[in-house]
């Protein structure tokens, strides 16, 4: 393993430069779906921020597969904010001028009054909503707005360049991100969810976007089983010999029961027997723990301590804990807060923290940090795209990336839609140090992992 870089006291007046083990490059991206333009308030002012450190401050990207039972020494994680860039010109196209993004002209047909604020912004979720988009209750507040989903998909397409790749959407829900990936000409998608009804809705929605059935397959399975037992370094390994009796027993205990295959709108929906022989990237949008994830404050959500994803449990027939029921909330008031999820019974802060993830079996789950390691090991390219809560601690992300084998740098994009922060996505498996080129300002922070 590469020894940790030399660390100096960051409080010294002029400390010598060093290359941290991991730099989290925070990059603001402004997107627009309502015809609005950037009036200049989204950019940093050089008079209000520190001078940006030279690019040599950022260590080049590399990947070192972690060794079993290896505990790395303390490592430096640096958080650097990259100058923001507006994508207004790229996103203002004809489809978004055909209808108002906020539309009150059609009454809300749902009996649940809590869906009202989501209903009026249905075109923000899917531009083709009026053609018959299907969502369940969770889908209304967990689906990624189409502008943001398309942007994230374009980032993966850029990584792949001219090559054709297969991405595993591990928690696909009603299909917003899967559809966005499949729109890209060089990306095929394996969409995974434990809920067959969600998969059917996702297939129906994909058909409204004319996604070729050859580009999108739907798998009913717990994504953790697929990441832990079906793929290694991008290759399908479920049919290969298992190294130890203990590993064989663990695999058999988690093996999902056979599920029926069906055709839905021309798309195949079935079990793990339909998995491809390889995957090139993994997209993660797991459950975050429900509406109370915001209780940890603006930057207090820790991927290792606060996120829990349940492994397969054969005895259960209700898979609600495995569904993609996260709330990508932002706490805004009014219509722009459409990511706010449905309110629970008020409790004090201490009770809410104590009860967070209380319904998850701690002996049979994976935390948000371990999830990165599973995804990285499953794909040979190490391309992992990870939707995380807005209040995710940046050092927590850097620590998790280091534990998974990543070195050098990762990118964390903050997606602002019409000037409001909606989602945050981490991109792992590539060198993003070029983002620091030709950037005049940035703020930096250093912490020990």
10 Å CB burial of residue 435 (0-12, 13-18, 19+) is buried
The HSE-up count of residue 76 (CA atoms within 13 Å, CB side) is: 23
Rounded to the nearest 10°, the torsion over CA 347, 351, 357, 363 is -160
Predicted pLDDT of residue 316: 43
Predicted pLDDT of residue 111: 77
Residue 230 DSSP class:
I
Counting the structural domains of the chain, the total is 1
The torsion angles phi and psi of 268, rounded to 5 degrees, stand at -80, 130
The string of pLDDT tens digits covering residues 58-107 is: 889 999 988 766 565 666 888 988 877 555 444 444 555 556 677 788 88
Q: Does 112 map to a domain?
A: yes
Collect the ranges in the chain with pLDDT lower than 70: 1-19, 34-56, 68-75, 85-100, 290-292, 313-347, 349-359, 438-449
Q: Does 172 map to a domain?
A: yes
Predicted pLDDT of residue 17: 53
Predicted pLDDT of residue 52: 45
Tokens of 15: 């400390």
Q: Does 2 map to a domain?
A: no
Q: Does 1 map to a domain?
A: no
Range of the domain at 433: 99-437
- Which contiguous run of DSSP H or E holds residue 169? strand 165-169
CATH number at residue 311: 3.40.50.150
Q: Is 356 left (phi over 0), alpha (psi -120 to 50) or beta?
A: beta
Q: Alpha-carbon distance 429 to 411, whole Å?
A: 9
The string of pLDDT tens digits covering residues 305-349 is: 888 888 876 544 444 444 444 544 443 444 444 444 444 555 676
Predicted pLDDT of residue 362: 73
Q: Does 22 map to a domain?
A: no
Predicted pLDDT of residue 443: 45
Predicted pLDDT of residue 350: 67
Predicted pLDDT of residue 442: 42
Q: Alpha-carbon distance 406 to 430, whole Å?
A: 9
Q: Does 29 map to a domain?
A: no
Q: Does 80 map to a domain?
A: no
Q: Does 126 map to a domain?
A: yes
């Amino acid at each position: 393993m590469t020894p940790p870089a030399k660390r100096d006291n960051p409080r010294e007046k002029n400390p010598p430069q060093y290359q941290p083990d991991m730099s989290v490059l925070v990059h603001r991206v402004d997107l627009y779906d309502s015809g609005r333009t950037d009036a200049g308030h989204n950019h940093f002012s050089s008079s209000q921020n520190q001078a940006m450190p030279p690019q040599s401050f950022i260590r080049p990207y590399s990947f070192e597969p972690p060794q079993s039972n290896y505990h790395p020494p303390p490592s430096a994680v640096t958080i650097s904010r990259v100058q923001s860039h507006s994508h207004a010109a790229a996103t203002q196209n004809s489809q978004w001028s055909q209808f108002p993004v906020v539309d009150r002209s059609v009454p809300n047909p749902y009996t649940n009054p809590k869906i009202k604020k989501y209903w009026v912004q249905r075109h923000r979720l899917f531009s083709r909503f009026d053609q018959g988009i299907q969502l369940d209750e969770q889908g209304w507040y967990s689906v990624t707005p189409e502008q943001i989903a398309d942007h994230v998909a374009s980032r993966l397409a850029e990584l792949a360049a001219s090559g054709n790749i297969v991405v595993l959407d591990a928690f696909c829900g009603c299909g917003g991100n899967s559809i966005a990936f499949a729109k890209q000409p060089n990306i095929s998608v394996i969409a995974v969810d434990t809920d067959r009804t969600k998969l059917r809705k996702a297939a129906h929605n994909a058909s409204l976007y004319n996604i070729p059935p050859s580009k999108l397959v739907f798998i009913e399975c717990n994504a953790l089983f697929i990441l832990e037992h079906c793929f290694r370094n991008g290759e399908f390994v479920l049919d290969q010999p298992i190294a130890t009796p203990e590993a064989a027993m663990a695999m058999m205990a988690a093996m999902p029961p056979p599920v029926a295959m069906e055709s839905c709108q021309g798309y195949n929906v079935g079990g793990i027997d339909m998995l491809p022989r390889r995957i090139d990237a993994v997209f993660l949008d797991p459950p975050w723990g429900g509406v109370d994830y915001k209780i940890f404050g603006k930057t207090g959500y820790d991927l290792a301590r606060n996120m829990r994803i349940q492994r397969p449990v054969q005895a259960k027939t209700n898979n609600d804990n495995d569904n993609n029921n996260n709330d990508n909330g932002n706490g805004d008031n009014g219509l722009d807060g459409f990511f706010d999820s449905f309110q629970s019974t008020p409790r004090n802060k201490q009770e809410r923290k104590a009860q967070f993830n209380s319904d998850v079996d701690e002996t049979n789950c994976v935390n948000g940090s371990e999830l990165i390691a599973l995804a990285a090991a499953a794909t040979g390219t190490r391309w992992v795209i990870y939707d995380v809560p807005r209040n995710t601690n940046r050092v927590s992300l850097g620590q998790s990336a280091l534990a998974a084998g990543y070195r050098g740098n990762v990118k964390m994009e903050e997606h602002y839609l019409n000037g409001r922060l909606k989602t945050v996505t981490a991109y792992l498996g590539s060198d993003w140090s070029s983002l620091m080129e030709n950037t005049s300002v940035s703020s930096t922070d250093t912490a020990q992992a």
